């Protein structure tokens, strides 16, 4: 990617290549700015004085000694109210985003004494950052082995189960099934994206504030872990890599999650509560997108079954944070076609798939989403050459 925007998160209608009247729309990243209108309603402020939160420590004697008690309380309260994951009686580990906790989980599940690196796999299409994060330090503890469906090596392995999946929004289960360790990345297992059909209780479950409430910039994630030793090794990783996690961020997250919880518990008022608001917004976008895709005739996008959502107490659909667009003509380059209309998306090859697919963020600002739909209508297949 050689555009001036490469590697930079979308910051709205960012002018690209100097053409201010026809800006590039960057839907490559999953920057969840979609929820900002909801949070603009909130007047709650976190004020931290110069003398507060100065210590590295939050509390002695706790396995995760840098975790703020209010943060832990809010996370457990929210899981209890939403019913998406068991958190009582489990170890909670806070991280700088769930990205840090992903690496902490790998570290925790591998032993320095093992003769060979442990294989790390995930069924394709998989979240592109797994491959990148697993390989960038060339660790001798673990090795990225790609698509879990094609994995046939002997020896220990770790399988990532992302459900709902990034990029394609599908609900997933492990595929290898040979007794390896599992990491469940449940970043999108919240009722605005997908029906809550069961209370998850896996060995390691990763969540992130980024995708739950949209506060990606706060850089807070959490892991719910069953095994004490595994949780302890994850804490060790955080100690070694960053000596804990920003306390300001933890307190901000605690306040935000606490506000969502208060609303859930309150009787209905004049304004939509967070998950209702977010679900409505996403489902409206999905409706518009499906119409645009149908009109264009060039692409297909996934269909999702309705399921009974234990949180909303009704049948609901899925409205993933990304759309996995696939060209009907498998010879076409999906990202390339969209790039011609100045829409940046992430090439299917980055997810272990092929160039006929591309991941497009559904979580951008309204203005960007509207421009995306307008431009989608203009996408044309390449002219066939007679030469």
Give me the least distance between CB of 240 and ligand PMP, in Å please.
Answer: 18
Q: By C-beta, is 31 or 333 nearer to ligand PMP?
A: 31
* C-alpha to C-alpha distance for 143 and 174, rounded to whole angstroms: 18
Closer to ligand PMP at the Cβ: 90 or 211? 211
Number of residues that bind ligand PMP (CB under 6 A): 13
The answer for residues whose C-beta is within 8 angstroms of residue 19's C-beta and 6 or more apart is none
Footprint of ligand PMP on 186-205 (CB under 6 A): 187
Q: For ligand PMP, which is the closer residue by CB, 145 or 185?
A: 185
Specify the DSSP element, H or E, that contains 205.
strand 204-208
Q: Which is nearer to ligand PMP, 97 or 174 (CB)?
A: 97
Binder to ligand PMP among 33, 87, 134, 210 (CB under 6 A)? 210
Sheet with 220-225: list strands edge to edge: 91-96, 220-225, 204-208, 181-185, 157-162, 118-122, 142-147
- Is 167 in contact with 361 (CB distance < 8 Å)? no
User: What is d(CA 306, CA 176) in angstroms, rounded to the nearest whole number?
Assistant: 27
The verdict on 277 binding ligand PMP (CB under 6 A) reads no
Note whether 30 binds ligand PMP by CB under 6 A.
Answer: yes
Our CB check for ligand PMP shows the closer of 190 and 341 to be 190
Provide the Cα torsion 10, 283, 201, 256; round to 10°: 60
Among 26, 128, 162, 326, binds ligand PMP (CB under 6 A): 162
Write down the least CB distance from residue 164 to ligand PMP, Å.
9
Q: Which of 33, 84, 166, 316 binds ligand PMP (CB under 6 A)?
A: 166
x/- site string to ligand PMP, residues 34 to 73, per CB under 6 A?
----------------------------------------
Question: Tokens at residue 111, please?
Answer: 């032993």
Give the one residue of 87, 119, 208, 358 binding ligand PMP; rule: CB under 6 A. 208
* CA separation for the pair 104, 234 (Å, rounded): 5
- Cα separations in angstroms, 382 against 1, 239, 375: 21, 53, 16
Element (DSSP H or E) covering residue 373: helix 366-376
Q: Is 165 helix (H, G, I), strand (E, B) or coil?
A: coil
Q: Measured in Å, how far apart are the chain's first and last C-alpha atoms?
A: 30
- Measured N-to-C along each axis, helices 228-242 and 97-109 cross at an angle, to the nearest 10 degrees, of 120
Site pattern 110..129 for ligand PMP (x: CB under 6 A): -----------------x--
Closest distance to ligand PMP from the beta carbon of 97 (Å): 3
Nearer to ligand PMP, 208 or 356 (CB): 208
**In the complex, what is the shortest distance from the CB of residue 94 to ligand PMP, in angstroms, rounded to a whole number?**
11
Chain residues binding ligand PMP by CB under 6 A are: 30, 97-99, 127, 162, 166, 185, 187, 208, 210, 216, 221
């Amino acid at each position: 990617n050689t555009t001036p925007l490469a590697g930079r998160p979308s910051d709205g209608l960012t002018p690209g290549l100097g053409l201010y009247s026809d800006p590039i729309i960057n839907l490559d990243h999953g920057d969840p700015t979609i929820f900002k209108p909801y949070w603009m309603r909130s007047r709650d402020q976190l004020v931290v004085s110069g003398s507060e939160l100065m210590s590295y420590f939050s509390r002695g004697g706790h396995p995760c000694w840098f975790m703020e008690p209010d943060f832990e309380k809010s996370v457990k309260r929210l899981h209890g109210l939403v019913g998406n994951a068991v958190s009582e009686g489990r170890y909670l580990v806070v991280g700088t985003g769930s990205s840090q906790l992903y690496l902490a989980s790998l570290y925790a599940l591998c032993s320095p004494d093992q003769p060979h690196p442990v294989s790390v796999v995930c069924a394709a299409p998989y979240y592109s950052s797994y491959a990148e994060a697993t390989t960038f330090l060339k660790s001798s503890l673990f090795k990225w082995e790609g698509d879990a469906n094609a994995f046939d090596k002997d020896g220990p392995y770790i399988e990532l189960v992302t459900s709902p999946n990034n990029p394609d929004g599908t609900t997933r289960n492990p595929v290898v099934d040979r007794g390896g360790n599992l990491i469940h990345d449940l970043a999108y297992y919240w009722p605005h994206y997908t029906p809550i059909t069961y209370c998850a209780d896996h060995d390691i479950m990763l969540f992130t504030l980024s995708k739950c409430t949209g506060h990606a910039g706060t850089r807070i994630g959490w892991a719910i872990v069953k095994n004490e030793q595994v949780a302890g090794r994850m804490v060790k990783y955080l100690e070694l890599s960053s000596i804990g996690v920003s306390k300001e961020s933890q307190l901000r997250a605690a306040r935000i999650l606490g506000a969502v919880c208060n609303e859930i518990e309150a009787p209905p008022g004049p304004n939509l509560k967070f998950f209702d608001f977010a679900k409505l917004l996403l489902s409206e976008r999905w409706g518009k997108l499906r119409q645009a895709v149908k009109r264009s005739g060039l692409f297909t996008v996934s269909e999702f079954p309705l399921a009974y959502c234990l949180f909303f107490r009704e049948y609901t659909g899925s409205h993933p944070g990304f759309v996995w667009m696939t060209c009907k003509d498998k010879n076409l380059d999906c990202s390339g076609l969209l790039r011609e209309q100045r829409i940046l998306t992430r090439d299917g090859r980055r997810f272990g798939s092929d160039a006929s697919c591309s991941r497009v963020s559904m979580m951008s600002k309204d203005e960007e989403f509207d421009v995306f739909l307008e431009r989608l209508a203009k996408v044309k297949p390449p002219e066939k050459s007679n030469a």
